[in-house]
Structure 1
Amino acid sequence: MQLTGSEIVVECLKEQGVDTVFGYPGGAILNVYDALYKHSDEITHILTSHEQGASHAADGYARATGRVGVCLATSGPGATNLVTGIATAYMDSIPVVAITCNVNLPLLGKDSFQEVDITGITLPITKHNFIVKDINSLADTIRRAFEIAQTGRPGPVLIDIPKDVTGVIAEYEKKVIEPVRPDEVSVSDEEINTAVEMIEAAEKPYIFVGGGAVLSDASDELFEFVKRVDAPVCDTLMGKGAFPGTDELYTGMLGMHGTKTSNFGVSECDLLIVVGARFSDRVTGNAKKFANHAKILQFDVDPAEMDKNIVITAGVTGDIKTVLKKVNEKLSQQSHKPWVKQIEEYKAKYPLSYHPDVLSGPFVVEEIYRQTKGDAIITTEVGQHQMWAAQFYKYSRPRTFLTSGGLGTMGYGLGASLGAKMGVPDKTVVNIAGDGCFRMNMNEIATAVRHNIPIIQVVINNHVLGMVRQWQTLFYEKRYSQTVLNDAVDFVKLAEAMGATGLRANTQQEFRVAFEKALTLGKPVVIDCQIDSDEKVWPMVAPGAPISDAFDEGDVAR
Structure 2
Amino acid sequence: MKTYQLAALALSELGVGTVFGLMGDANLAYLGDFVENHGGEFVAAVAEGGAVSMADGYARMTGGVGVASVTHGPAVTNCTTALVEAVRSRSAVLLLTGSTPDVRDHFQDFDLEGFARLAGAEYRRVRQAAAVGADIAEALSRVATTRTPLVLDLPYDLLEVAATGESPRAVPSPPVPGAPAADLVDDALAALLGSARPLILAGRGAVGSGARDDILRLARALDAPVMTTLLAKDLFAGEPENLGIHGSLSHAVAIEELGRIDCVLVVGAALSSFTTDNTALLAGKFVIQIDDRSDAFGRFAPVDLPITGDAAKVMHALCKRLAEADAPAPSGRRVTQLAEAVRALEQKGYHSISGGGTVDMRDAMARLAALLPPGSQVVTDIGRFSTAAWKYLPVEPGRFTVPGAFGSIGLGIATAVGAAASHRDAPTVCVVGDGGAMMGLTELSTAVRHHLPVVLVVLDDHCYGAEYLKLAGLGLKPAHSEVEWPGFAETARALGARAVTVREIDEFAQVAALIEKGNYPLVVEVKADPARRRPHVATAAAGRAH
User: Which one has more relative contact order, counting CA pairs under 8 Å at least 6 apart?
Assistant: 1
Quote the offset at 1:195 in angstroms.
1.4
Aligned partner of 1:115 among 86, 109, 112: 109
What CA distance in whole angstroms lies between the structure 2 residues aligned with 1:40 and 1:406?
35
Q: 1:347 aligns with which of 342, 345, 358?
A: 342
Find 1:25's aligned residue among 23, 26, 47. 23
Match of residue 282, structure 1, among 250, 253, 274: 274
Deviations 1:43-69 (A, max 9, x none): 111111111111111111111111111
Distance apart, 1:96 and its partner CA? 1.0
Distance 1:481 1:504 in 2: 23
Does the 8 Å CA contact 2:227/2:243 hold for their aligned counterparts? yes
Equivalent pair of 1:29/1:102 in contact (CA under 8 Å):
no
Query: Structure 1 residue 239 and structure 2 residue 232: aligned?
Result: yes
Which residue does the alignment assign to 1:550?
Answer: none
The Cα shift of 1:87 comes to 1.1
Distance in structure 1 (CA, Å) of the matches to 2:258 and 2:6: 52
Provide the C-alpha distance between the structure 1 equivalents of 2:517 and 2:173, rounded to a whole number of angstroms.
39
User: In structure 2, do the counterparts of structure 1 residues 510 and 103 end up closer, same or farther at CA, with 3 Å as the change threshold?
Assistant: same
Question: C-alpha separation between the residues in 1 aligned to 2:10 and 2:214?
Answer: 34
What SS class does the counterpart of residue 431 from structure 1 fall into? strand
Quick one: which of 53, 58, 63 aligns to 1:61?
A: 58
2:4 corresponds in structure 1 to: 6
Instruction: Report the Cα distance in structure 1 between the residues aligned to 2:179 and 2:94, rounded to whole angstroms.
Output: 27
Tell me if 1:185 matches 2:178: yes
Q: Is the 8 A contact 1:95 1:150 kept in 2?
A: yes
Matched position secondary structure for 1:238: helix
Q: Is it true that 1:299 corresponds to 2:296 in the alignment?
A: no
Moved more, 515-524 or 405-414: 515-524
Equivalent residue number for residue 198 of structure 1: 191
Deviation at 1:124, TM superposition (A): 4.2
Aligned equivalents of 1:254, 1:336: Cα separation in 2: 26
Q: Is the 8 A contact 1:182 1:319 kept in 2?
A: no
* CA deviation after TM superposition for structure 1 residue 494, in Å: 0.5
Q: Matched residues in 2 for 1:329 and 1:355: separation?
A: 47
Per the alignment, residue 163 of structure 1 pairs with 156
1:479 shift after superposition: 4.1
Partner SS, residue 168 of structure 1: coil
Q: Trace 1:431-510 onto structure 2 (pairs within 5 A).
A: 431-473=430-472, 475-480=473-478, 482-485=480-483, 487-510=484-507
Closer, same or farther in 2 for the Cα pair 1:293/1:339, shift >3 Å? farther
Structure 2 unaligned regions, length at least 5:
534-546
Q: Is the 8 A contact 1:268 1:293 kept in 2?
A: no
Give the match for residue 123 of structure 2: 129
**Aligned-pair distance for 1:40?**
5.5
Tell me the equivalent position of 2:333: 338
Q: How does 1:403-418 map to 2 (within 5 A)?
A: 403-418=402-417
Shift of 1:240: 2.4
Q: CA deviation at 1:221?
A: 4.4
Within 1, Cα distance between the matches of 2:67 and 2:231? 21
Aligned counterpart, 2:206 = 213
Alpha-carbon separation, structure 1, partners of 2:5 and 2:222: 53
Q: Using the alignment, how far apart are the partners of 1:229 and 1:155 within structure 2?
A: 36
Q: For residues 245 and 116 of structure 1, do their structure 2 counterparts lie closer, same or farther at Cα, with a shift above 3 Å needed? A: farther
1:431, CA displacement in angstroms?
Answer: 0.7
RMSD: 2.4
Residue 324 of structure 1, aligned match among 315, 322, 327: 315
Give, in whole Å, the separation in 2 of the partners of 1:102 and 1:275: 42
C-alpha distance in structure 1 between counterparts of 2:115 and 2:333, whole Å: 54
Distance 1:247 1:442, change over 3 A: same
SS in 1 for 2:526: strand
Q: Which residue among 89, 101, 106 is the counterpart of 1:92? A: 89
Secondary structure of 1:273's aligned partner: strand
The 1:174/1:467 distance shift into structure 2, 3 A limit, reads same
The aligned counterpart of 1:541 is: none
Q: Secondary structure at the match of 1:278?
A: coil
Q: 1:412-431 CA distances to partner (integer Å, 9 max, x unpaired)?
A: 22112211121111122111
TM-score (norm. length: structure 1): 0.88
Partners of 1:307 and 1:136 lie apart in 2 by 43
Question: How far is 1:519 from its partner?
Answer: 3.8
- Give, in angstroms, the shift of residue 286 of structure 1: 4.5
How many angstroms apart in 1 are the aligned matches of 2:466 and 2:374?
26
Change (3 A) 1:436 1:458: same
Instruction: State the match for 1:387 in structure 2.
Output: 387
| Aligned mates of 2:425, 2:300 — CA distance in 1 | 40
Q: Take 2:477 and 2:256, find their aligned partners in 1: how far apart are those partners?
A: 32
- Report percent identity of matched pairs: 25
Alignment coverage as a number of residue pairs: 524
Correspondent of 2:521 among 514, 520, 524:
524
2:367 equivalent in structure 1: 367
For 2:34, the equivalent position in structure 1 comes to 36
Structure 1 position 349, deviation (Å) = 5.1
The CA distance in 1 between the partners of 2:171 and 2:257, in whole Å, is: 44
Q: CA 1:221 to 1:448, structure 2 compared with 1: closer, same or farther past 3 Å?
A: same
Q: 1:476–1:186: structure 2 CA closer, same or farther, 3 Å change rule? A: farther
- Cα distance change, pair 398–484 in 1 and its aligned pair in 2 (3 A): same
Check if 1:272 corresponds to 2:269.
no
Q: Structure 2: how far apart are the matches of 1:222 and 1:7?
A: 49
CA contact (8 A) 1:97 1:145 kept: yes
TM-score (norm 2): 0.89
- Cα distance, 1:272 vs structure 2: 0.8
Q: CA deviation at 1:448?
A: 1.2
Is 1:267–1:291's contact at 8 Å kept on the other side of the alignment? Answer: no
Is residue 533 from structure 1 mapped to residue 525 from structure 2 by the alignment?
A: no
Partner of 2:21: helix, strand, or coil?
Answer: strand
Unaligned stretches of 5+ in structure 1? Answer: 537-558
Displacement of 1:90:
1.1
- Matches of 1:227 and 1:374, distance apart in 2: 28
1:113 and 1:335 map into 2 onto residues whose CA distance is 71
Range moving further from structure 2, 312-321 or 66-75: 312-321
Task: Work out the CA distance in 2 between the residues paired with 1:308 and 1:381.
Answer: 25
- In 1: Cα distance, 2:331 partner to 2:267 partner: 19
| CA contact 2:371–2:515 (8 Å) conserved in 1 | no
What is the CA-CA distance between 1:469 and the residue it aligns to? 1.9
Stretch deviating more after TM superposition (266-275 or 317-326): 317-326
Give a deviation string over 1:81-118, Cα, whole Å, max 9, x none: 222221111111111111112212x33xx541222112
